[in-house]
């Protein structure tokens, strides 16, 4: 099983603290040692780092951790390979352009027979089930709309597509086009919104505490989404199986 991490915020926010906890699960406190990747939006642009090496020993992960990149939308993934060999092209998150926006996708789970779903325009570069599922989802959106619909309409369609994929197995997913963060919980996903008054938080996987009241302004709203809660002492909301939530500016919407 892989681990997912996402962030949606109303102001550019540093994800280093959560990233630090997750990266430890890549081969150190967890078995997810088959690579990792992260994508940060910056306006319409997107910066991404991928490494097929275990995250707990990755030089690129150390760099990302030390180099504070602030973003309002982040998707991160650490991998335990089940389908598709360990290779850069099989390392999440996957990225494609649709409607002049960059779409980022990460998935945890297995999907039986997903490769029988027909593709047209988007074709996988690697050999994972996940990238096939991503290409298929974008294909459906593209066929349906020539330009982006309102975000509520888009969210409803993404929820429907996610439910369809979920019938093939396990489909925990994070998807974004830079503004909204769409999350589907097949078996395991939890989220937490931090807002004023901010307090301290302590990572489960590393002996690290951050006092968010010193790092934030009173108007900041930051939601973190992860396969399993990353901190102790904070009110994580564990999602029910089969549920969907879209975040925008750190707030759940629709």
Residues ≥6 apart with Cβ < 8 Å to 48: 37, 38, 39, 40, 93, 95, 104
- Active site (annotated) includes residue 2: yes
Whether a cis peptide bond, with omega within 30° of 0, leads into 44 is: no
Q: Is residue 146 exposed (0-12), middle (13-18) or buried (19+ Cβ within 10 Å)?
A: exposed
Of 100-108, 166-174, 182-190, 241-249, which segment contacts a copy of itself by CB under 8 A? 100-108
Residues 122-161, mask of contacts with a copy of itself (x by CB under 8 A): xxxxx-----------------------------------
43 scored as a contact of a copy of itself (CB under 8 A): yes
Which CB atom, from 125 or from 196, has the smaller least distance to a copy of itself? 125
168 scored as a contact of a copy of itself (CB under 8 A): no
**Encoded tokens for 250:** 């750190």
Site for a copy of itself in 47-76 (CB under 8 A): 47-50, 59-60, 63, 67
* Neighbouring C-alpha atoms within 13 Å toward the C-beta of 174: 33
Size of the site for a copy of itself (CB under 8 A): 30
Of 22, 24, 80, 39, which Cα lies nearest the Cα of 228?
22
Strand segments (E) across the chain: 3-14, 36-42, 45-51, 70-78, 94-98, 101-108, 172-176, 180-185, 190-194, 200-203, 209-211, 222-226, 231-232, 237-238, 243-248, 251-252
For residue 248, the SS3 value is: strand
**Encoded tokens for 169:** 């197995």
Find the binder of a copy of itself among 8, 13, 18, 91 (CB under 8 A).
91
Torsion of CA 165, 253, 243, 46, to 10 degrees: 40
42 scored as a contact of a copy of itself (CB under 8 A): yes
Find the binder of a copy of itself among 70, 80, 83, 101 (CB under 8 A).
101
Which CB atom, from 38 or from 230, has the smaller least distance to a copy of itself? 38
Query: Shortest distance, CB of residue 42 to a copy of itself, whole angstroms?
Result: 4
Of 93-101, 148-156, 167-175, 211-219, which segment contacts a copy of itself by CB under 8 A? 93-101
Query: Shortest distance, CB of residue 194 to a copy of itself, whole angstroms?
Result: 26
Query: Shortest distance, CB of residue 90 to a copy of itself, whole angstroms?
Result: 8
Q: Which of 2, 16, 76, 183 is an active site residue? A: 2
Which CB atom, from 40 or from 212, has the smaller least distance to a copy of itself? 40
Residues with active-site annotation: 2
Q: Where along the sequence are the contacts to a copy of itself (CB under 8 A)? A: 42-50, 59-60, 63, 67, 87-91, 96-97, 99-102, 121-126
């Amino acid at each position: 099983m892989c681990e997912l991490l996402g962030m949606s915020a109303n102001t550019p926010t540093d994800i280093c603290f959560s990233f630090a906890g997750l990266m430890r699960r890549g081969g150190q406190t967890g078995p997810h040692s088959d690579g990792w990747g992260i994508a940060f939006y910056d306006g319409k642009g997107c910066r991404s780092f991928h490494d097929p090496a275990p995250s707990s020993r990755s030089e690129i992960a150390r760099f990302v951790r030390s180099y504070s990149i602030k973003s309002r939308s982040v998707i991160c993934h650490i991998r335990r390979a089940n389908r598709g060999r360990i290779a850069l092209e099989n390392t999440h998150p996957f990225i494609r352009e649709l409607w002049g926006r960059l779409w980022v996708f990460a998935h945890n789970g297995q999907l039986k027979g997903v490769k029988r779903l027909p593709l047209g325009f988007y074709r996988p570069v690697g050999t994972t089930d996940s990238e096939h599922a991503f290409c298929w989802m974008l294909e459906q959106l593209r066929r349906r709309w020539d330009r982006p619909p309102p975000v509520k309409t888009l969210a409803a369609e993404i929820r429907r597509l996610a439910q369809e994929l979920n019938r093939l197995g396990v489909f925990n997913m994070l998807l974004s086009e830079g503004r909204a963060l769409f999350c589907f919980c097949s078996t395991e996903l939890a989220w937490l919104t931090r807002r004023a008054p901010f307090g301290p938080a302590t990572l489960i996987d590393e002996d690290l505490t951050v006092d968010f009241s010193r790092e934030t302004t009173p108007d900041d709203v930051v939601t973190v989404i992860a396969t399993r809660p990353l901190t102790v002492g904070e009110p994580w909301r564990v999602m029910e199986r089969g549920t969907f939530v879209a975040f925008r500016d750190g707030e759940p919407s629709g």
